[in-house]
């Protein structure tokens, strides 16, 4: 059989609170339920005395007892339905009603009724929400007004004041005070338990977090060291007190650590540094200690209520040796790749210069032989000399491309930009590839508007771009097909496109356009000759102009190569030039297109 207090609290004190019951909200509901039982028990205890008073023609004690029983039953019913807010509100309003009745019955300005009414807002602040709290204070003001009216004879109880009223008021006041005291004590215990649970949870988190955690007092004393620091440093945590942490820092990194700690401790700044710290190797083997890279995050604990001064500092220490080693390996690999690239560029430049001199001699002497300077040759010898001359020109072109590619990769290709008319580039470039186009019966066409803006660019580089694009298009075109060169203004850029109806490329090959020595058809059995440097040189020259190279192609349908060059030329790099103050600026005469051409293109 449960005890009386177990019935009142509706819980066994020996049973620990778990889950949601350990939270303040659950304990607040239990306090409301306990108060309802306490009110009902006190009212039942006082009911016999109230019935006896009723036989003596005293109505007020009976009304108060019935009010207490009613409030207790209603509050318990609400608790059974889970409506704890209404149950708490019923208790508060019941307390106010009892205080009002006793205040009106007792003509004294200070009586038990007013004291009971004052306890109601306190009870509401402990157990109820904001609306009930506000209403409790408003009803208390009304109770005070009724008490004042009763004191001055403006309002009175129908029965004359009796000494039993004072006894009944004292009893109700003790019950109300007991309810408030029990509620306050229980809720205070609840918050203490909750705060202790929160502190234990945080302590468990800090103790088992992967990073080592240390807390320092404003004077630099170690206040706390987490258990994970033992794994990081290979020592017991008490060995890090005093100067234990400083002694483990590498001598060369101690100034950086002390500076960061001072900025967090004195200036309230958050700092993060990477330093070397000694780690002991525990075990019977007694291996020598080694230094590891540790990321140290220093965060000040700033208390706004305290006078400005030194702050506590919380330090997080994380082992970043593996990341640091990876960065070193990455830097070494990058340095090796850069050295290999530079070695390749130097090799290409050296080979190009070494090959150019004998090739010029071969081409020169073969031209002398075919021109008849050294005498007439037989038809067979003339054919051989012609083949030597053609092969020599081919090798000179290859050497020229190798030299251009090496200069581009080394960043030694300098642009000499000046205003030029884009249409003036077309005819010389078409003449350069005309012979190649006639051999394959490829027709060259142009689509150039009558007016184009002046382009600020390197004329020699632009010619090389056009020649490489046109020769590529002719080489991969089918016989009796058409290659089209088009130019137009596109916003702030000049768009140059070369379209052919040749073999085309797949999407994977299009993504790799511009890579040195890349060809869509690899292997010794490929149909088309070449080094794969033409489009690489085009891409490098276009990027020097701050332009872009685009390609669209489909296998068997052809390819369209598009170059976008900024009309105003490449941007000036501020870090490569000094600050120049212009004293006078001449207006740049720009040949702008006519209105009807712009309207035609817009339509």
Residue 261 CA to chain centroid, in angstroms?
27
**Which pLDDT does position 256 carry in this prediction?**
92
Distance of CA 363 to the CA centre of its chain: 63
Provide the β-strand partners of residue 145: none
What is the sign, positive or negative, of the torsion defined by CA atoms of 80, 84, 89, 94?
positive
d(CA 534, CA 279): 57
Which two structure tokens, joined as six digits, stand for 72?
A: 């207790």
What fold, for 327-410? Answer: Helix Hairpins (1.10.287)
Output the six-digit token pair for 416.
């000499």
The pLDDT assigned to 198 comes to 67
pLDDT the model gives residue 307: 65
Spatial contact of 401 and 537, defined as CB atoms under 8 Å apart: yes
Largest CA distance in the chain: 160
Q: Residue for token digits 């869509």?
A: 520
- Map 146-208 to HEC letters: HHHHHHCCCCCCCCCCCHHHHHHHHHHHHHHHHHHHHHHHHHHHHHHHHHHHHHHHHHHHHHH
Instruction: For the chain, give every domain's residue range.
Output: 4-204, 209-319, 327-410, 418-572+587-602
Q: Helix, strand, coil proportions of the chain in percent (round to 5)?
A: 55, 15, 30
Degrees, nearest 5: CA angle 28-32-35: 135
What pLDDT is stored for residue 378 in this prediction? 78
Nearest to 235 by CA among 247, 219, 223: 247
Say how many CA atoms lie within 13 Å of 214 toward its Cβ: 26
Torsions phi, psi for 301 (to 5 deg): -100, 100
**DSSP-derived secondary structure for 391-446:** HHHHHHHHHHHHHHHHHHHHT------EEE-GGGGHHHHHHHHHHHHHHTTPEEEE
CA distance 383 to 381: 5
Q: Which residues of 298-309 are buried (b: 16+ CB within 10 A; e: fewer)?
A: bbbeeeeeeeee
CATH architecture of 418-572+587-602: 2-Layer Sandwich (3.30)
SS3 538: helix
How much is the pLDDT for 442?
Answer: 87
Q: Is the pTM of this model over 0.85?
A: no
The DSSP output letter for 59 is H
- CA–CA gap between residue 167 and residue 160 (Å, rounded): 15
Separation of alpha carbons 30 and 84, rounded Å? 9
Question: What's the residue count for the chain?
Answer: 603
Which pLDDT score, from 0 to 100, does residue 469 have? 86
CATH number assigned to the domain with residue range 209-319, chosen from the 4 options 3.30.70.940, 3.30.465.10, 3.30.450.20, 3.30.70.1250: 3.30.450.20
Residue for token pair 């890579």: 515
Spatial CA neighbour of 315 closest among 361, 263, 251: 263
Calpha distance 125→308 (Å, rounded): 36
* Beta-ladder partners of 563: 496, 549
- Dihedral angle, C-alpha 177, 179, 185, 187, nearest 10 °: -130
User: Would you state the pLDDT for residue 206?
Assistant: 67
Residues of the chain with pLDDT under 50: 1-22, 522-526, 528, 572-603
554 forms bridges with which residues in the sheet?
558
């Amino acid at each position: 059989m449960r005890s009386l207090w177990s019935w009142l609290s509706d819980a066994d004190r020996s049973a620990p609170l778990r889950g949601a019951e350990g939270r303040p909200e659950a304990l607040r509901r239990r306090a409301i339920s306990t108060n309802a039982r306490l009110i009902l028990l006190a009212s039942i205890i006082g009911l016999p005395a109230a019935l006896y008073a009723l036989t003596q023609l005293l109505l007020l004690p009976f009304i108060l007892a019935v009010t207490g029983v009613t409030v207790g039953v209603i509050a318990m019913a609400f608790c059974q339905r889970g409506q704890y807010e209404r149950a708490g509100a019923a208790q508060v309003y019941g307390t106010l009603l009892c205080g009002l009745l006793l205040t009106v019955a007792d003509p004294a300005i200070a009586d038990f009724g007013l004291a009971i009414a004052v306890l109601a807002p306190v009870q509401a602040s402990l157990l109820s929400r904001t609306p009930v709290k506000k209403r409790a204070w408003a009803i208390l003001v009304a109770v005070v007004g009724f008490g004042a009216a009763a004191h001055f004879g403006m309002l009175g109880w129908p029965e004359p004041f009796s000494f039993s009223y004072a006894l009944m008021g004292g009893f109700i006041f003790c019950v109300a005070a007991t309810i408030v005291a029990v509620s306050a004590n229980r809720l205070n215990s609840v918050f203490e338990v909750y705060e202790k649970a929160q502190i234990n949870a945080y302590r468990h988190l800090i103790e088992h977090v992967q990073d080592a955690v240390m807390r320092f007092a404003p004077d630099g004393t170690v206040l706390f060291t987490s258990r994970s620091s033992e794994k990081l440093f290979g020592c017991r945590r008490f060995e890090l007190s005093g100067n234990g942490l400083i002694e483990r820092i590498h001598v060369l990194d101690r100034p950086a650590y002390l500076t960061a700690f001072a900025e967090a401790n004195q200036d309230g700044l958050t700092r993060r540094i990477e330093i070397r710290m000694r780690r002991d190797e525990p075990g019977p083997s007694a291996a020598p200690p080694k230094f590891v890279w540790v990321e140290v995050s220093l965060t000040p604990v700033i208390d706004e209520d305290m006078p400005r001064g030194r702050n506590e500092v919380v330090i997080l220490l994380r082992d970043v040796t593996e990341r640091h080693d990876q960065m070193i390996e990455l830097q070494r690999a990058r340095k090796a790749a850069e050295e290999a690239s530079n070695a390749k560029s130097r090799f290409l430049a050296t080979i190009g210069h070494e090959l150019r001199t004998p090739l010029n001699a071969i081409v020169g002497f073969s031209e002398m032989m075919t021109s008849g300077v050294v005498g007439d040759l037989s038809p067979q010898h003339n054919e051989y000399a012609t083949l030597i001359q053609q092969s020599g020109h081919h090798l000179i072109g290859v050497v020229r491309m190798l030299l251009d590619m090496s200069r581009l990769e080394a960043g030694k290709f300098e642009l000499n930009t000046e205003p030029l008319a884009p249409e003036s580039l077309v005819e010389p470039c078409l003449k350069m590839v005309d012979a190649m186009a006639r051999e394959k019966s490829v027709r060259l066409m142009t689509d150039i508007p009558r007016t184009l803006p002046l382009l600020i660019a390197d004329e020699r580089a632009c010619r090389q771009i056009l020649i490489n694009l046109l020769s590529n298009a002719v080489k991969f075109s089918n016989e009796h097909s058409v290659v089209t060169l088009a130019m137009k203004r596109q916003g702030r850029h000049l768009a140059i496109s070369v379209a052919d109806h040749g073999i085309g490329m797949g999407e994977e090959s299009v993504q790799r356009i511009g890579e040195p020595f890349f060809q869509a058809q690899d292997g010794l059995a490929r149909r088309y000759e070449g080094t794969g440097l033409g489009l690489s040189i085009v891409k490098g020259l276009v990027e020097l102009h701050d332009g872009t190279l685009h390609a669209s192609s489909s296998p068997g349908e052809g390819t369209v190569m598009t170059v976008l060059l900024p009309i105003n030329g490449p941007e000036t790099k501020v870090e490569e030039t000094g600050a120049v103050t212009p004293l006078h600026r001449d207006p740049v005469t720009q040949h702008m297109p006519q209105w009807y051409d712009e309207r035609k293109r817009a339509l």
